[in-house]
Structure 1
Amino acid sequence: MKTQLAPEWQTTDWFNTPESLSLSGLRGQVVLLHAFQMLCPGCVSHGLPQAQRVAKLFPDVRVIGLHTVFEHHEAMGVASLRAFLHEYRIRFPVAVDLPGPDGDPLPRTMRAYAMQGTPTTVLINAQGGLHRQMFGVHDDLLLGAELGLLREHATSSAKHPTTPQLGSMHSCADDSCAIK
């Protein structure tokens, strides 16, 4: 089974970074994308604190926030998000998901990833492949172990350039990836 490449993000604004980021520009790095809404209780109490812990404990993992609003659009604009990020001391880069076309209430990146809601954590391997996507609260220990494995694979692939790259010759299940 071939790992699906993670869809590119479609955004309008970025915070905590001097320039817009792209998934293709982050190739070679393990990425944790945290999709949230600032008025989502689970995001504020669990998801965002977890993303902050990952950013602190795994400095080589790129933690990216995605403010993806599918409800209460009027209350969660860019000015409110700026204040929220300041008050909650969110330091990692955060993008604003591009609204859906023609009145679609679901933002474009949220739809491209078929997210069920917020919080959603997306793990993207160093080759840009969609490793795992989790809706709701995810256990810290399990997330840390999975990030460790993704980091280890990224490091070993960089040291051994003749090793087949993920996305070309591998088979992944929920609990493992094997080279064919």
Structure 2
Amino acid sequence: MFLQALCVAIALQSSPRGIVGQQAPSLQGVAWVQSGGDFIPSIEKGKVNYLFFFQSWCPGCHSHGFPTLQKMVKEFPKVNFIAIQTVFEGFSSNTKERALADVKTFGLNISVGHDGSYGNPSPLMRRYRSGGTPWTVIIDKNNFVRFNDFRLTPKLGNEILTTLQAEKDYEILPIHRGGQEMIGTKLSEPIFGNFSAPLTLYRWWTDTCPHCEASLPALDSLREKYKDRGLKVVGVYHPKPPSKTINEQEVHVSAVSRKFNGEVVIDGDWSQLKKWWLESGQRSATSVSILVDNDGIVRFVHPGPVLFPSDDKDFAKENNDFQLLDRAIDTLLQPLKKKEKNDE
């Protein structure tokens, strides 16, 4: 059976495995045995990163972990590949020397590290919540973990790396602002529609929120700017309190009066807001904006409460947030095709 080939870290089983959707922890503390060049190996932002955790005496590492890694290295020369022996057992056998020898056996000229010693099992394993070896971690260009699990087949690895390499580069908000861990994750379709457009921007708002009143015209300007390229902007009204009686006509009039002319839907009991936002982490505002592609993948998150363009230094933060969202949308959407001139 496959499980018999795995070296499982029993001590780690009490906590959930993997950290998909989270910012990738650094490789601090790893002892480097070999680097793929004249540099200290690290997770490189702007590149797709592939980490392979192994142990020299792990049968599964040699039967499928290393062979899969070998295939991926050949097929994806632009990916940052790093192999690290994450030792949690057999410390006298799983040595630095054996780690390097294992990598060379498969003809791999990539960075090789060693982490863990007797009395101090691999700290890196704990940071990534890996369940043992072989363990593969794939990190996107924005340093978010997109795959973090046991056995990775060559087919799945090819699909993930192809997708991540094709993703366009753009800047997101700082991690401490909140919600950035959602980027790259896949959402189920909302109760009030589907992901039919190339990009859909959902913004929760209400009629008693001054931040919403300041933001809605800015979001409508994005709708106008990018509608021909496939952007859809949806104003999601959520009454405060949730038990408030709702009149659909009044909601639409309220949106228009705030200079928003896009589609308006109602999240009367906040069920969608809770599912996507409030119950997925610690949140400081309900007026969130979430940019989603037609596959349901989150591409940008503004945690609220307000954003708009401005030349006033007092509103530098609001302007910067708006400009980042604007550039993300521009980067992600296909450019308009030039109209062909008719030959006369």
The two structures share one fold, judged by TM-score above 0.5? yes
Structure 2: distance between partners of 1:108 and 1:6: 14
Q: What code does the residue aligned with 1:145 have?
A: E
Shift of 1:178: 1.8
TM-score normalized with structure 1 length:
0.81
Q: CA deviation at 1:61?
A: 1.0
Aligned partner of 1:43 among 36, 61, 64: 61
Large movers: runs of 4+ above 6 Å: none
Q: Distance in 1 between matches of 2:96 and 2:73?
A: 23
Q: 1:108 aligns with which of 93, 98, 123?
A: 123
What is the letter of the counterpart of residue 89 of structure 1? G
What is the Cα-based RMSD across aligned positions, in Å? 2.6
In the alignment, does 2:171 pair up with 1:151?
no
**Matched residue SS, 2:83:** strand
Q: 1:133 aligns with which of 148, 155, 164?
A: 148
Q: Which position in structure 1 is the counterpart of 2:39?
A: 19
Is the contact between residue 36 and residue 120 of structure 1 (CA under 8 Å) also seen in structure 2? Answer: yes
Determine which structure has more spread, i.e. the larger CA radius of gyration: 2
SS at match of 1:146: helix
Q: 1:83 aligns with which of 80, 101, 120?
A: 101
Q: What secondary structure, in the 3-state scheme, does the structure 2 residue paired with 1:38 have?
A: coil
CA change 1:138–1:69 in 2 (3 A) is: same
Matched residue, 2:137: 122
Q: Give the 3-state SS of the residue equivalent to 1:75 in structure 2.
A: coil
Question: Would you say the 8 A contact 2:70–2:108 is kept in 1?
Answer: yes
TM-aligned CA deviation for residue 41 of structure 1: 0.7
- 2:185 paired residue number: 172
Partner of 2:90: 72
Shift of residue 166 of structure 1? Answer: 9.7
* TM-score calculated relative to the size of structure 2: 0.44
Closer/same/farther in 2, CA of residues 98 and 11 from structure 1, 3 Å limit: farther
Question: Which consecutive residues of structure 1, in runs of 5 or more, have no partner in the other structure?
Answer: none
- Could you tell me the percent identity over the aligned residues? 28
Aligned to 2:314: none
- Encode CA deviations 1:71-121: one digit per residue, 9 max, x unaligned: 111012222333333333232111111437xx13x2010111111000001
Deviation at 1:151, TM superposition (A): 0.6
Q: For 1:26-74, what per-residue CA distance to the aligned partner results, in whole angstroms no more than 9, with x for missing partners?
A: 1110001011111111101100111111111011111110111111110
Q: Greater relative contact order: 1 or 2 (C-alpha under 8 angstroms, separation 6 or more)? A: 1
Q: Structure 1 residue 164: deviation in Å?
A: 4.5
Unaligned residue ranges in structure 2 (runs of 5+):
1-19, 188-294, 302-344
CA–CA separation in structure 1 for the residues paired with 2:296 and 2:85: 30
